[in-house]
Amino acid sequence: MAMKRIGCFALLLCLLLWSGNTIRGQEIVQQVPAAVTSDPPPDPAYPATMAWPDIPSHGSKMYSVLYIASGSGPHPTVLMLHGFPGNEKNLDLAYSIRRAGWNVLVPFNRGAWGSSGTFSFTHALEDAQASIDFLHDSENAKKFRIDEARIVLVGHSMGGFAAAYAAAHEPLVFAAALISAGNLGPASARQRASDPQFWERWNDNASRLVGTTAQQLVQEVDSDPAKWNYMNCVPQLKDRPVLVLEADDRNTSDNQELANRLRQAGDTHVTEIHMHTDHPFSDRRIAMQAAIVNWLDAITPPRSGSHAKESTSRTKVVLLGTGTPIPDPDRSGPATAIIVDDRAYLIDFGPGVVRRAEAAALTRQIPAVEPGNLRVAFVTHLHSDHTAGYSDLILGGWTSGRKVPLEVYGPSGLQSMTEHILQAYRVDIETRTNPDGPMRDAGRFPDAWKVNAHDIKAGVIYKDEKVTVTAFPTKHAMESYGYRFETPDRTIVISGDTNPVEETIKACNGCDVLIHEAQPLELLAKMPGSIQSFVAKYHTTTEQLAELATKAKPKLLVIYHTISFPPGIAPPRLLPPKGSADALYASPEMLQKEIGSRYSGEFVIGKDLDVY
């Protein structure tokens, strides 16, 4: 984006470093997503609805409510596990999650709330597994519009323990959110030692349940300390997204220890949020729902429904980075891979490209984007947000096993940039390739650091047996191109950074996928005039994109490269007077609204690692 913004981004980075630890241990003000406060547009063909299936569990039947999201689905689905029966059921949270496009199943444990059978903690764990089995049943999935591959557990208190345990024992569960999760064994022992009202409380609670007493429940957790300590679930949980949501209550220390242990075990997907409230989050209901809906939105795996053709198509689009110059930790610099069979073609190499490529290879099972397999790349223009990953692509790809020189195509200046990067890394290349350097080892490719850089003009610029690539001129702050990829089964067009241009419409003209930048009107209105006029000249607003896409008629429009400062990272200079820390955050709901109200075709707000 604008060159003049580089300075402010450098300042922003300094501020971030200076402000230190703002995430852990402090209550972060959550951007409240639209799903928490407003109804989505109704879908007359597939309206939101409710079912109340009986879920079989070990000879008894559990009553349940199943909130089904609007739309044809299949929808990702949350299994919501309630706390100790008789208390909080979190149904307000279930509704918010449903408005965000998820189904929510809330089962009621055996022996509680009218469900038949008897209650015990062991039964509660079995009931959680029985509910997962219910969601994975293909007939139920069809009937209730459930996406079996995208099941997330959300549990509060005792249900938090059950969510951790069930997720640890069921690899098909994609992620788990633990809301003030009670660590049943250690918590029981601790409370007996310190709380004079312990037995009174437990007798009162247990009296509502069928087939158990306070003594039996205590005995149950005492009899098998390893089973009833969720720290033992860490090895199985550490590779999946986990949200640890803490309150100021008896569970805080266990929750913090769990988050620490997950991190120590190498978990990079753990999110820890603390809220100053009581155990049922009585005065943080909206903040709690916002935190969970935001987390679900961030971890949602790519759809297995209508958009993702990965199972049938030879050609896939993998979004490696959907960001801008803003150092958003969830959005890497612009980079997109088009995969045809076992080949990958990269467009742009923003910062983070090599690591996102490895992440896509691992988590989306796409070996073609292993860094060592990236051999052909195209760049839309030479702005740093699109090219700051170039040295990593050249050198990281080489050390990761690329066997041949990288082939790169882009506007004039690319060759010069390439020469300078290689010159800058002369010492690295020399020490790796000298006679005792590691790239001289057997099986390594000592010449594959080289790059064949091609300065291009508009027209067909690349062709092999899998793909024909045509460059078309776009309108940005420097020489810039969009690209049209024709493969044996799909046509894909990508805009790069540009003002709306007729060439993009012509290049797409009913194409399968159009990947286009868009800048939100609501956010632009709050930005300084210099940025507004830069965007007006060299970028595309949501309104302009809706108009362009209506003419270009892609089967799917993927929106990326949107200016947005996630809550807390906007530099103070840019924040509007009296604006809150998240005033410059472009939520998916904002984009959805701005595009959806003006464009009737199918579109998605792209996220890093989405596959289409």
Task: Please give the residue ranges that form the binding site for Zn ion (CB under 5 A).
Answer: 1, 383, 385, 497
Structure tokens at 345: 């073609």
Residue 198 burial (10 A CB sphere; 0-12, 13-18, 19+)? middle
Pick between residue 246 and residue 497 the one whose CB is nearest to Zn ion. Answer: 497
At its nearest, how many Å lie between Zn ion and the CB of residue 353? 14
At its nearest, how many Å lie between Zn ion and the CB of residue 583? 22
Residues whose CB falls within 8 Å of the CB of residue 373, separated by 6 or more in sequence, listed in order: 344, 367, 401, 402
Query: Is 108 in contact with 62 (CB distance < 8 Å)?
Result: yes
At its nearest, how many Å lie between Zn ion and the CB of residue 537? 12
User: Which residue from 52, 49, 77 is spatially nearest to 63, judged by alpha carbons?
Assistant: 52
Is 361 in a helix, a strand, or coil? Answer: helix
At its nearest, how many Å lie between Zn ion and the CB of residue 263? 32
Pick between residue 57 and residue 541 the one whose CB is nearest to Zn ion. Answer: 541
Pick between residue 125 and residue 569 the one whose CB is nearest to Zn ion. Answer: 569
At its nearest, how many Å lie between Zn ion and the CB of residue 5? 10
Pick between residue 297 and residue 497 the one whose CB is nearest to Zn ion. Answer: 497
Residues whose CB falls within 8 Å of the CB of residue 493, separated by 6 or more in sequence, listed in order: 482, 483, 484, 485, 504, 507, 508, 511, 513, 514, 515, 552, 554
Pick between residue 325 and residue 554 the one whose CB is nearest to Zn ion. Answer: 325
Residues whose CB falls within 8 Å of the CB of residue 279, separated by 6 or more in sequence, listed in order: 157, 180, 247, 249, 250, 251
- Please provide the DSSP assignment of 95-121 as one string: HHHHHTT-EEEEE--TTSTT-SS---H
- Looking from the CA of 586 toward its CB, the CA atoms found within 13 Å total 31
At its nearest, how many Å lie between Zn ion and the CB of residue 243? 31
Structure tokens at 317: 């689009």
Q: How far apart are CA 64 and CA 128, in angstroms?
A: 12
At its nearest, how many Å lie between Zn ion and the CB of residue 388? 11
At its nearest, how many Å lie between Zn ion and the CB of residue 110? 55
Task: With residue 76 as reference, give the H or E element that holds it.
Answer: strand 75-81
Pick between residue 220 and residue 497 the one whose CB is nearest to Zn ion. Answer: 497
Structure tokens at 224: 């098998």
* Backbone φ and ψ of 483, nearest 5°: -130, 140
Pick between residue 254 and residue 497 the one whose CB is nearest to Zn ion. Answer: 497
Pick between residue 392 and residue 497 the one whose CB is nearest to Zn ion. Answer: 497
What sign results for the dihedral spanned by CA atoms 436, 441, 445, 449? negative
Q: How far apart are CA 166 and CA 234, in angstroms?
A: 12
Pick between residue 385 and residue 594 the one whose CB is nearest to Zn ion. Answer: 385
- Please list, residue by residue across 478-509, b when 16 or more beta carbons sit within 10 angstroms of its beta carbon and e when fewer do: ebbbbbbbbbeebbbbbbbbbbbbebbbebbe
Pick between residue 383 and residue 466 the one whose CB is nearest to Zn ion. Answer: 383
Q: How far apart are CA 256 and CA 258, in angstroms?
A: 5
At its nearest, how many Å lie between Zn ion and the CB of residue 562? 10
At its nearest, how many Å lie between Zn ion and the CB of residue 456? 17
In the sheet that holds 459-463, the strands lie side by side as: 459-463, 468-473, 481-486, 491-494, 513-517, 556-560, 603-605
Pick between residue 85 and residue 411 the one whose CB is nearest to Zn ion. Answer: 411
At its nearest, how many Å lie between Zn ion and the CB of residue 604? 20
Q: How far apart are CA 265 and CA 245, in angstroms?
A: 19
Q: How far is CA 572 from the centre of its chain?
A: 27
At its nearest, how many Å lie between Zn ion and the CB of residue 538? 7
What sign results for the dihedral spanned by CA atoms 300, 306, 312, 314? negative
| DSSP code, position 74 | P
Pick between residue 466 and residue 476 the one whose CB is nearest to Zn ion. Answer: 476
